[in-house]
Amino acid sequence: MNLKRNGALLGVVAAGALTLAACGSDNNAASTDVDASASAATCEGKETLSAAGSSAQKNAMDQFVSTYIAVCQEKGKNVNVAYNPSGSGDGRTQFIANQIDFAGSDSAIKAEQAAQAAERCAGNPAWNLPLVFGPVAIAYNVDGVDNLVLNGETVAKIFNGTIKQWNDPAIAALNEGVSLPDSAITPIVRSDSSGTTDNFQKYLEAASNGAWTTGAGSDFTGGIGEGAKGSAGVAQAVASAPGSITYVEKSFADQNGLTVARIDNGSGAVELTDESAGKAIEAATFAPTGEGDLTLDLSSIFGTTQEGAYPIMLATYEIVCSAGYDADTSAAVKSFLVSAANEGQEGLAEQGYVPLPESFKARLTESINAIA
């Protein structure tokens, strides 16, 4: 049976790495249809799960929860997941302290925190399960230039100040036949700490042939550019400033009518689409962190040379206990995540995310089912 649900609480994507207001997901609804009979979610275990963390995945989490509620209602079960988008660091801290059932995070839990999480999980490792992906656009404002092509090296040199003019020979070489203006480039960068900045700089480290030397991190390290706060801030700044360029989530580029560069990953120029972003996700490999854990080897995405694969992505994880939950919590966590990884993915593209490719979805579901 198909269930029609209200869309009042989905909202719009706002500032930050797809950042929205820091409020919980206690009451959720969605505007999509879902076939409850086709869901593998058991809807078993405790009725209400608690979670906190990444604001980048907040809109996706709203959809996952509302879909899960509808599926379980059709199966005669009342469930909920209360998600607070309080930030990745806070989510990991609360998970370690056993204050929530799982955490959302823009980066995998590791090192000392991973050891602390294992203590919380009764001596069992915590697993990083990548569930939400969002592409990062290189958006620009150059009158008359609608199909700009850049690569990792030229992007790095623009954002470290080595390339200063739009008609620089390195840019011209990638855009044969395009009339590039003899005007200054104005990089617009995030003035606040963000997972978007971190992932963008990790891309530059992986794909710039050594041109990016200042490292990664949540704060911009390039040393140049005009700062603006949040994803909405940088997108609006580029929209109003001819000659400017920024890195920003695709949804914000779309909302502000910005032109987005194609990225040459070494196998030709790639337009940012759901299909091209999905190819990069599908080809991603995982770090050797142990069976069940799906910590991504981000260089396999950022450094991809696969034809037609768009390489600049933001991935967010759900951090869970591989074992050590009580039986009711384990059943509920597994049931919710199975739903989120499958029917919950429908319609994510409308919110600026990339739905999981089938092969990746299968690998993720396998790990979810292995939670003890």
**Inter-CA distances, 266 with 189, 284, 303, 336, Å:** 25, 17, 9, 39
Containing structural domain, residue 165 = 136-277
Of 277, 298, 327, which one is at a domain's C-terminal end? 277
Whether 82 and 20 share a structural domain: yes
Q: What is the pLDDT of residue 23?
A: 33
pLDDT digit string (tens) for 264-306? Answer: 999 999 999 999 999 999 999 999 988 999 999 999 999 999 9
Whether 256 and 344 share a structural domain: no
307 part of a folded domain: no
Three-state DSSP state, 186: strand
* CATH number of the domain bearing residue 180: 3.40.190.10
**Measured between alpha carbons, how far is 248 from 202 in angstroms, rounded to an integer?**
14
Instruction: Choose among 196, 220, 24, 191: nearest CA to 107.
Output: 196
Confidence bin at 351 (pLDDT 50/70/90): confident
Q: What is the pLDDT of residue 55?
A: 85
Confidence bin at 16 (pLDDT 50/70/90): very low
Whether 125 and 16 share a structural domain: yes
Least confident span in 7-11, 72-76, 366-370: 7-11
Whether 89 and 168 share a structural domain: no
Q: What is the pLDDT of residue 268?
A: 97
Do residues 1 and 37 lie in contact, with contact meaning Cβ atoms separated by under 8 Å? yes
Give the residue carrying structure tokens 């995070």: 105
Of 253, 277, 301, which one is at a domain's C-terminal end? 277
Class of residue 135 by CB neighbours under 10 A (exposed 0-12, middle 13-18, buried 19+): buried
Do residues 41 and 10 lie in contact, with contact meaning Cβ atoms separated by under 8 Å? no
Q: What is the pLDDT of residue 8?
A: 30
Q: Which residues contact 206 (CB under 8 A, 6 or more apart)?
A: 152, 298, 299, 302, 303
Q: What is the pLDDT of residue 265?
A: 97
Whether 145 and 212 share a structural domain: yes
Give the residue carrying structure tokens 């990444």: 54
pLDDT digit string (tens) for 42-83? Answer: 999 999 999 999 988 999 999 999 999 999 999 999 999 999
Whether 141 and 266 share a structural domain: yes
Q: What is the pLDDT of residue 313?
A: 94
What does pTM read for this prediction? Answer: 0.82
58 part of a folded domain: yes
Q: What is the pLDDT of residue 214?
A: 98
Do residues 144 and 179 lie in contact, with contact meaning Cβ atoms separated by under 8 Å? yes
**Inter-CA distances, 368 with 216, 280, 304, 338, Å:** 30, 22, 27, 7
301 part of a folded domain: no
Whether 82 and 151 share a structural domain: no
**Measured between alpha carbons, how far is 235 from 202 in angstroms, rounded to an integer?**
21
Whether 65 and 166 share a structural domain: no
Of 248, 277, 306, which one is at a domain's C-terminal end? 277
311 part of a folded domain: no
Whether 32 and 124 share a structural domain: yes
Do residues 235 and 177 lie in contact, with contact meaning Cβ atoms separated by under 8 Å? no
pLDDT digit string (tens) for 117-163? Answer: 999 999 999 999 999 999 999 999 999 999 999 999 999 999 999 99
Whether 140 and 273 share a structural domain: yes
55 part of a folded domain: yes
Number of domains in the chain: 2
Instruction: Choose among 224, 193, 221: nearest CA to 88.
Output: 193
Whether 162 and 144 share a structural domain: yes
